[in-house]
Structure 1
Amino acid sequence: MQRARRHDPHPTPWEVPLAIVIGSLLLFVVGAHLGRGIANLLSAGWWEFPDRADLFTSLPGLLESDASAGLTAPHPTVAPATMLWVCIAAVELAILGLIAAGIRAGLRLWGPSRVQGVATRQEAERLLGRARLRRHAAIVRPDLYGKGRGQA
């Protein structure tokens, strides 16, 4: 009866990975447009980012090497296809590196191999002091300094 009244506030196991995948896909779409903007800035000297409404509809044209797809103002010169693809690839690689670093940091904090309930050496020394740590070593680390350990 008690369990029926309780609510689990944690998300179900599939929601967090789905949010990570959708967020990563959105970052890759924005990265493609950012790469196009950088290519146009470097080669043609102008910068424009598409409207939010055209963010996904202009993506097929952009992937067909059209550096002006989805932009509102007509421009006389656009970035060549090679420059466009180099800039898009550079931005996408940077985004991929940031996503990998974020996933690694998240797994270190919340993943299955995280260290639970153990203070770092600096935290223990700051809270307890070196002399107290030495006096109570058998309590703090019974696996290393407990009774019967290291004695022949």
Structure 2
Amino acid sequence: MQRSRRVNPHPTTWEIPLATVVVVVLLFILGVHAGRAGANLIAGAGLQFPPREELFVSTFPVIRGDAGAGLVPRPDHVAGAAATLIWIGIVETLNLALILWASKIAWDQWGPSRVHGMATRAEAEKLLGRSRLRRNAAVIRPDLYGKRQR
């Protein structure tokens, strides 16, 4: 037990995965309403978002194609169901790309395959300088620049 505490002082708990799931679901819900707002803007109904009280309640009617659901006051002319669904699809695709990009960055930073204690090429250059790196290449990377055995 003592060894595992030294290796991993912070055990994995449920808070971080739950927060991640909540953020992803909220981003997709906001994406539905942003897609509806874009469709309504193009259709001439203006750029409107629902009030906070109607945000979650109006999500499923919007997905079914009702572009005026939850808007206060409801516009007279709203986008059609097809245009609303196309705009929601575009926004959600961009949303998914953003989530995947952020996940890749987080995985590289905190995932199990991250590199511990290694400087990047730019950090080594800044700290040591090019001439010192070349002069001490055999010490820094003996597998690549060590003395060749004959």
Sort the TM-score into its range (normalised by shorter chain): 0.7 to 0.9
Structure-1-length-normalised TM-score: 0.83
Where do 1:1-152 residues align within 5 Å? 10=10, 12-146=12-146, 150-152=148-150
The Cα RMSD (Å) is 2.1
CA deviation vs aligned residue, 1:69-124 (integer Å, no higher than 9, x gap): 11110321110111100101000000000000000111111112222222222322
> What is the CA–CA distance in structure 2 between the aligned matches of 1:108 and 1:71, rounded to whole Å?
41
Q: Secondary structure at 1:76's aligned position in 2? A: coil
Offset at residue 9 of structure 1 (A): 7.8
Q: Secondary structure at 1:77's aligned position in 2? A: coil
The one-letter code of the counterpart of 1:61 is P
Offset at residue 135 of structure 1 (A): 3.0
Deviates more, 1:104-113 or 1:77-86: 104-113
Structure-2-length-normalised TM-score: 0.84
Gaps of 5+ in 2: 3-7
Identity %: 49
CA contact (8 A) 2:45 2:79 kept: no
Offset at residue 150 of structure 1 (A): 2.5
The one-letter code of the counterpart of 2:70 is G
Offset at residue 11 of structure 1 (A): 6.3
How many pairs are equivalent? 144
* Aligned counterpart, 1:5: none
> What is the CA–CA distance in structure 2 between the aligned matches of 1:40 and 1:123, rounded to whole Å?
49
The one-letter code of the counterpart of 2:38 is I
